[in-house]
Structure 1
Amino acid sequence: MATATQRSTPRRSAGRRRRWTAALGAVALVAGTAALAGPAHALASAPVDFATHCVPPPIAGIPPIDGTTTAQITVDNAAPKVGDTVTVTYTVTKPAASNPVDIALPADIMTPSGKVTLGGAQPGSVTVTGPKKNPPVPGKGAFPSFSMTGTFTVTAPGSITLSPGDYNIHTSYIMELDTPCTVTNPPAPVSETVVATDQPGANERSIQLATASGKPGDQVTVTGAKFTPLADITVVGRAGAAETADRTTVKADAAGGFTSGLKVNDKATTGIVAYEGAAWSPDKGAGPAAYTVIDDTPLPANSQKLNSSVAAGTLSMSQAGDTVDLSAVDFGTGGASTGDLKTVTVKDFRGGPAGWSLTGKVTDFTGPGGKIDAGKLGWTPACTTKQGSPSTCVAGSAGSVGTAGATLASTPNGALTGGEFTLNAKVTLNVPAYTAPGAYSGVLTLTLT
């Protein structure tokens, strides 16, 4: 760019200035006629041709040009899950025209930007940009190919199509010029299709017992919630990690709830679980809920039974505050708005075999510019176990939170669980570059089960 600037001097003749202007106009035009293309309803990325209409800067003295461009869209993940971020690459393989003048054009003068149109299950658009990079173009030579990239977050399951949208080419040679281009017959053909699937949500199934103890042969009422509607549920006793002979089955109602009576005969039973399917799964089960079988075996003659008890407590959660102020980002740049989740303390004083799980879901962030999608909020969880606790907490995986939810931390089931735990997380909101200025707020809801 220094060379180009040095060449532009007040002593140039009017003829030379006109020739440079023509060259600049040609660069802006041909870069501008490049766009995305692809065969309609393609299942895999492929190059295609489509028509574009570009308007060079007035100083170029060149009328608008309608031409055909060959281009291709590719993605880094054609089978994402809801909440995943997909990187889109828009490559122009054959621009519509060549350098129409004899003057060679220098390297690194073109910066493309534009939009990729999303359709199908997730209508919208993706902003794509390219680096300021191109090889020298000889006089009357063909213009080189170039690529632009951008990202979008998947918000809905199903087939999502990617087609070219309007774009602009900025040139920096002698002067700064822009060439806006539009798709002649929108929407342009589909160049790529991704098929998104639902992100597995957090397990919110739960059970409660009408009583926490009983004699051998007593029946305990078990109530369940948030199971799959009309699913077959197995309710069974547990002795540590092993199932006992105490078992029954029940069908969930249309809302996913159930009430069942379980007769407990096995003196080894220390807890009760409920699950969908043929065998226990932490993803489709709830519990164990602690249960004690009171041994009523008659005492020998001349003996006394001495009874003491340890009262079971509750599973509870508290947090150090309810407002997190994330760092600000700049309009036009966007990026990571970061902060720290208010510290959460979990106390498990139940004294049974059940572990716990703390999950979070977040709403979209709303503000003066509309909304920032909930899927753009990610976190990196951390947890600490207080010394002496029977259980050890495990932090959830780093990644997107979104409306589907994610796990902040959990403890496993065991013969005896419990303790005190401190939970934290680094949170990051990925703000799009041109989000309207102002304050945006979303609500993160934590659920302990």
Structure 2
Amino acid sequence: MVVLLAATTGGAPAAAEGEQPPPGQVEFPTHCLPPQEAGLPPADGPTTARISVDDPAPKVGDTVTVTYRIAATPALNPAASELPADAVTPTGRIVLAGAQSGEVTVVGVRRNDPVPAGATLPGVTMTGTFTVTAPGEITLAPGGYTLHTGHPVDLETVCTAAGPAPVSEHLTAAPLPTANLRALTLGTAYGKPGARVAVTGSGFAPGAAVTVAGRTGAAETVDRVAATADERGVVRAELPVTDKGTTGVVAYEGTAWSARGGSGPAAYTVIDAATVIDAATVIDPATVIDPATVIDAAPPAPGTRKVTAVVEPGALAMTQAGESVTLGAVPYGNGGPAAGRIGTVTVEDARGGPAGWSLVGRVTDFAGPGGVRIPGASLTWTPRCVAAAGSPSACRAGSAGTVGPEGAVLASTADGAPAGGTFTVDAGVELRVPPYTPPGAYTAVLTLTLS
């Protein structure tokens, strides 16, 4: 989005003969057309100018302020008499190319020394802003400009570049950091040895070869099955869990699981019902006894009974207060932050395994009236996370910064034993609204994914 920002400083003089010109200063042929009322012929000649930016290494979604300084112009004073001080108002444009194309409108205010009749108009300074929308190198070249004089009547001298002007400045935009949005859910969180577990994964590259495997701690078990992601990046598989050491299930693309390129671990518990054999039972020497079999050498005394309680693992789930997020209003012209909160999110981890979890958010662009859009990368948040009393795991809030369409971590817990608990997550959010954004309601979709 291109926005106007009125800010000025005095025009810089051209470099004197023999002096080194300022960095980025360029010269390009210009055709200046005076107003008809002046009765002057067109003025042709070089324009000496330079462009600078406040941030040469922004990220996608950042707003960059650009300054267009004209040190010398062939345009003449269109008035028949001397122009008084502060009578020239400049406007212009800067041409973007490379990773991002388009134009930036720049403006200045009246700030000049008196100009004698017939003399060239003075140097001017104009500023403006634009939002970075693509990563890579972006070049900035001076474009045409208009010099408005307000004495004795309003007159405009329009100057255009006679061909493409040379590049005066460039910047290199970095892409937004990407979050791992792969997620994994299991049809059940426990089962006997040999049970087949339904596994569903999402967020993988469409058509990618995916490995679904059992895991114990940081190592994989022998349980493994291959799958292929569909056109939406969804993976479905059945994993036979035969290794009694399996405590979780992971899925990943490539040769090995990683926190950035894989999903899970989703907690899984192998339940092996032990057989109780009374010490008085006669065991045939030929009988093969499973190592998991428990031989009770001291059976209960008459009149007594053994009491066994089983704690079954539960699920990982979240709930959110409210159905929508309303940000504060921003006045037209000024722009600025529209602030709000995402609403309390409660995460309950009752799986009983060693796996932690991660809550990731991503946001679309904000769509407004007439097709105007504010990039999703303009939304930032400051996450908070609190673990309820008695929760075995510690909750870690994500980093403050950009949410964007690529996503960012809102909160997480680390792998470890014991793990689990109840956690309250929230975040303050701010949408950076550029100045002179057309009035109206701007709406986006914020998606939270728990895995």
TM-score category by the smaller chain? 0.7 to 0.9
TM-superposed deviation, 1:154: 2.0
After superposition, residues 254-333 of structure 1 pair within 5 angstroms as 254-255=230-231, 256-295=233-272, 296=274, 297-301=292-296, 302=299, 304=306, 306-330=308-332, 333=333
Q: Distance in 1 between matches of 2:209 and 2:360?
A: 26
Q: Distance in 1 between matches of 2:57 and 2:108?
A: 25
After superposition, residues 248-259 of structure 1 pair within 5 angstroms as 248=224, 250=226, 252-255=228-231, 256-259=233-236
Q: Distance in 1 between matches of 2:153 and 2:51?
A: 28
TM-superposed deviation, 1:289: 0.8
Relative to 1, partners in 2 of residues 1:60 and 1:204: Cα closer, same or farther, differing over 3 Å? same
Contact 1:221 1:260 survives alignment (8 Å): yes
C-alpha RMSD of matched pairs (Å): 4.0
Q: Distance in 1 between matches of 2:153 and 2:249?
A: 73
Q: Distance in 1 between matches of 2:70 and 2:249?
A: 62
Deviation sequence 1:133-183 (CA, Å, 0-9, x none): 5678899998775543333222234554433334344568x7795645342
Contact 1:216 1:265 survives alignment (8 Å): yes
* Letter of the structure 1 residue corresponding to residue 321 of structure 2: Q
Is the aligned partner of 1:123 residue 2:126?
no
Contact 2:366 2:442 survives alignment (8 Å): no
Q: Distance in 2 between matches of 1:251 and 1:385?
A: 36
More helix by share: 1
What 5-or-longer segments of structure 1 have no aligned partner? 1-30, 35-44
DSSP-derived class of the 1:375 partner: helix
Contact 1:336 1:430 survives alignment (8 Å): yes
Please tell me whether Structure 1 or Structure 2 has the larger radius of gyration of its CA atoms.
Answer: 2
Deviation sequence 1:332-387 (CA, Å, 0-9, x none): x2321412124132222333423121302122321147333433333333444433
DSSP-derived class of the 2:134 partner: coil
Pick one of 414, 428, 431 that aligns with 1:428.
431
Equivalent residue, structure 2, for 1:215: 192
Which segment drifts farther, 131-140 or 224-233?
Answer: 131-140
After superposition, residues 395-406 of structure 1 pair within 5 angstroms as 395-406=397-408
Is the aligned partner of 1:381 residue 2:377?
no
DSSP-derived class of the 2:373 partner: strand
TM-superposed deviation, 1:197: 5.5
Pick one of 356, 359, 362 that aligns with 1:360.
362
Q: Distance in 2 between matches of 1:178 and 1:246?
A: 83
Equivalent residue, structure 1, for 2:443: 441
Contact 1:248 1:262 survives alignment (8 Å): yes
Equivalent residue, structure 1, for 2:349: 349
Give aligned pairs, total. Answer: 402
Deviation sequence 1:369-406 (CA, Å, 0-9, x none): 73334333333334444333333433333334333333
Equivalent residue, structure 1, for 2:44: 66
* Letter of the structure 1 residue corresponding to residue 182 of structure 2: R
Relative to 1, partners in 2 of residues 1:67 and 1:369: Cα closer, same or farther, differing over 3 Å? farther
Contact 1:385 1:421 survives alignment (8 Å): yes
Contact 1:362 1:374 survives alignment (8 Å): yes
Contact 1:206 1:287 survives alignment (8 Å): yes
After superposition, residues 12-411 of structure 1 pair within 5 angstroms as 46-55=24-33, 64-78=42-56, 80-96=58-74, 112-130=90-108, 146-157=124-135, 159-169=137-147, 179=156, 181-185=158-162, 188-194=165-171, 196=173, 198-240=175-217, 242-248=218-224, 250=226, 252-255=228-231, 256-295=233-272, 296=274, 297-301=292-296, 302=299, 304=306, 306-330=308-332, 333-351=333-351, 352=353, 353-368=355-370, 370-411=372-413
Contact 1:369 1:435 survives alignment (8 Å): no
DSSP-derived class of the 1:69 partner: strand
DSSP-derived class of the 1:300 partner: strand
* Letter of the structure 1 residue corresponding to residue 390 of structure 2: G
Contact 2:92 2:144 survives alignment (8 Å): yes
Q: Distance in 1 between matches of 2:265 and 2:175?
A: 28
For normalisation by structure 1, the TM-score amounts to 0.73
Deviation sequence 1:99-150 (CA, Å, 0-9, x none): 89997975x7655443222245433222334576567889999877554333
Contact 1:355 1:418 survives alignment (8 Å): no
Q: Distance in 1 between matches of 2:396 and 2:163?
A: 50
Q: Distance in 2 between matches of 1:142 and 1:65?
A: 10
Contact 1:153 1:375 survives alignment (8 Å): no
Deviation sequence 1:68-125 (CA, Å, 0-9, x none): 212233445555543233333323344446889997975x765544322224543322
TM-superposed deviation, 1:425: 1.5
Which segment drifts farther, 287-296 or 155-164?
Answer: 155-164
Q: Distance in 2 between matches of 1:83 and 1:439?
A: 20
Q: Distance in 2 between matches of 1:105 and 1:154?
A: 39
Which segment drifts farther, 146-155 or 187-196?
Answer: 187-196
Contact 1:237 1:244 survives alignment (8 Å): yes
TM-superposed deviation, 1:291: 0.6
Contact 2:411 2:425 survives alignment (8 Å): no
Contact 1:122 1:160 survives alignment (8 Å): yes
Contact 1:232 1:249 survives alignment (8 Å): no
Contact 2:361 2:409 survives alignment (8 Å): yes
Equivalent residue, structure 1, for 2:420: 417
DSSP-derived class of the 1:164 partner: strand
Q: Distance in 1 between matches of 2:294 and 2:216?
A: 25
Contact 1:273 1:285 survives alignment (8 Å): yes
Deviation sequence 1:215-274 (CA, Å, 0-9, x none): 34545343322212444544343344x224335363533533434454445444322222
DSSP-derived class of the 1:203 partner: coil
DSSP-derived class of the 1:410 partner: strand
TM-superposed deviation, 1:195: 5.0
Q: Distance in 2 between matches of 1:176 and 1:378?
A: 48
